Amino acid sequence: MQLDANKEKICINQLVGQKNDILEVEGDAIVNDIKPDILNVISVNGNVSVYKREVLDGKIKLEGAVNVYVIYLADDETGSVRSLNTSVDFNKSFDFDECKKEMDLDETLNIKNIECKVINSRKINIRAFLDLNVKLYSNDNVDIINDVNSLMDGIQCLNNTLDINSLVGSGITKAMARDTILIDNTDNLAEILKSDITITNKDIKISYNKVLAKADIDLKIMYLTEDNRIQMVQSSIPVMGFVDIQNVSDTNTCNTKYKLRNVIIKPNNMEEHSINVEIEVEISCSVYEKKQINILQDLYSPTNTLKFTKRQVTTLVNKENLQETCTIQEAISIPEIANNKIYDVCVRPNIQRQSVTNGRIEFEGEVELEFLYEANNLSRFDSKTTKLPLNFSINNANIEEEMSFNTNIEIKTQNFVVLNDGNIETKLELLFEISVSRNEKINVIDNIDIEEKKECNQYSMVIYFVKPKDTLWEIAKKFDSTVDEIAHINEIENADSIMPGMQLFIPRYCSRKMA
């Protein structure tokens, strides 16, 4: 006979597996016929777009491109500065034993380094090294038993109260940011040298069954004029999208990510002194509800044999989103720049080591700075790379040593001032966005059946000596007694305080009869 049980359904979003790797993307690019030959490369940078991702049994596929901007010194009479904009496509598959089709994929690709080699005056080879972080999640609806309904007296239940983060729902939408960016009327645009894209001011608003995600796309575009001047224009484009998620509320925790999917930045052929921008952004959102559950962990009957299945599932607990700002202020000595004009600085944070202790997350790494500046030599334009140490920690009482976390670094502000002594006064504000959580393994009981009535020899009392790792529950279950009875007769106030070697009197001892 099966016992009737009170059940509660929870949706468990658990990390199945993750993979960190370096993805190498390589390709050749040819200089357009209307542009001069390459003498040497001055600077190279870019951004990553993922067009398609596919989750298969035992495998993950990613398709995308690295959008590369190469600034080079031209092999012409004036030694002019020119650019080569190209895309290097990639189509990569990764074996992942735990992977199943229905699982959710969260991938992060960041450019670690780009190498550019001149093959000949009309052809270059590009090798981009990408930091790849892949995480796989499964979403399982689990029925948990928190109580049993039975006419039979004496059933002993071991319950546990847990605070978990149950998945309310998740979703993905795409948003398009379009704008026409005006440049100075005196500038006749020759070509775009480079562009930097950052996503800032991220925010969410929750309405009926929807999450409104909005942010700003900050753009810095360096361009060349027809009269061979290097100029910079900056703009901010708002982007927003609705993610449909049923039963979402403003008390939930929302994890929102923005990823570039396609980028088009080009001179406007229809209107002078302007640049067309089209950026496709994928917005993904997962919503979690903090929920207290009462879960049945074990049970037995002193008079009847109970049979049930027990399995273990992993759920998220203590999920929290943290934000802290790291400020770096330092004077940098770069004699090559001296009092020359700085056109732009590319800021690339790189975390090399991170560790978690109770109440604290520590980060160690460096911030790479690539200065593009006006030079005194014939090229009139050059680059110089330097690095600053990055040491930062976040203190929070809820951080535990076994927690896992995801970190995103946003460059809030950057300011560079060339001083009279030639040093460069540098001030950076880096916003650390961290999502922390802990995986908790819980026992789930299913299919409770009463199989038979026990036939046993009754004893009034037995003496038992506590062994290491014994619990009062396990002792009571072993001897078909109860925790309350053992605690009462032995005058135990705290059931968790028994010690190895302690002598216990066990009432109502029942020993199964031998056939």
Question: pLDDT tens digits for 265-292?
Answer: 999 988 889 999 999 999 999 999 988 8
323 and 233 part of one domain: no
For residue 514, the model assigns a pLDDT of: 41
385 and 292 part of one domain: no
Mean local confidence (pLDDT), 92-103: 87
Q: Side chain identity at 226, as an amino acid letter?
A: E
Report pLDDT digits (tens) over 384-398: 999 999 999 999 988
In a domain, 4, yes or no: no
Structure tokens at 342: 């700085």
Structure tokens at 216: 């700003």
Lowest-pLDDT range, 141-145, 362-366, 455-459, 503-507?
455-459
Identify the CATH number of the domain in which residue 472 sits. 3.10.350.10
448 and 459 part of one domain: no
The answer for 121, left when phi > 0, alpha when psi is -120 to 50, beta otherwise, is alpha
Q: Quote the number of domains for the chain.
A: 4
In a domain, 5, yes or no: no
392 and 477 part of one domain: no
* pLDDT band with cut points at 50, 70 and 90 for residue 133: confident
Domain boundary (297, 329, 362) is at 297
421 CB contacts (<8 Å, ≥6 apart)?
none
Domain boundary (405, 424, 452) is at 452
Choose between 515 and 499: higher pLDDT: 499
221 and 268 part of one domain: yes
Count of CB atoms situated within 10 Å of the CB of 472: 22
448 and 322 part of one domain: yes
Answering whether pTM is above 0.75, one says: yes
213 and 127 part of one domain: no
Range of the domain at 321: 303-452
* Selection from 476, 466, 472 nearest residue 509 by Cα: 476
Q: Which stretches does DSSP call E strand in 31-155?
A: 38-56, 59-74, 81-95, 104-120, 123-149
Q: Which stretches does DSSP call E strand in 358-513?
A: 360-373, 382-395, 404-418, 423-453, 456-465, 503-512
Separation CA 513–CA 304 (nearest Å)? 14
Mean local confidence (pLDDT), 393-409: 88
Domain boundary (406, 434, 452) is at 452
* Selection from 219, 215, 222, 338 nearest residue 284 by Cα: 215
For residues 207 and 218, the answer to whether their CB atoms sit within 8 Å is no
In a domain, 174, yes or no: yes
120 and 184 part of one domain: no
261 and 331 part of one domain: no
For residues 233 and 142, the answer to whether their CB atoms sit within 8 Å is no
413 and 501 part of one domain: no
For residue 151, the model assigns a pLDDT of: 59
338 and 436 part of one domain: yes
Rounded to the nearest angstrom, the gap between the alpha carbon of residue 212 and the centroid of all alpha carbons in its chain is 20
Q: Side chain identity at 257, as an amino acid letter?
A: K
Report pLDDT digits (tens) over 318-371: 888 899 999 999 999 988 887 788 999 999 999 989 998 888 999 999 999 999
413 and 507 part of one domain: no
Mean local confidence (pLDDT), 372-389: 83
Report pLDDT digits (tens) over 292-313: 889 998 888 887 888 888 888 8
In a domain, 29, yes or no: yes
For residue 150, the model assigns a pLDDT of: 67
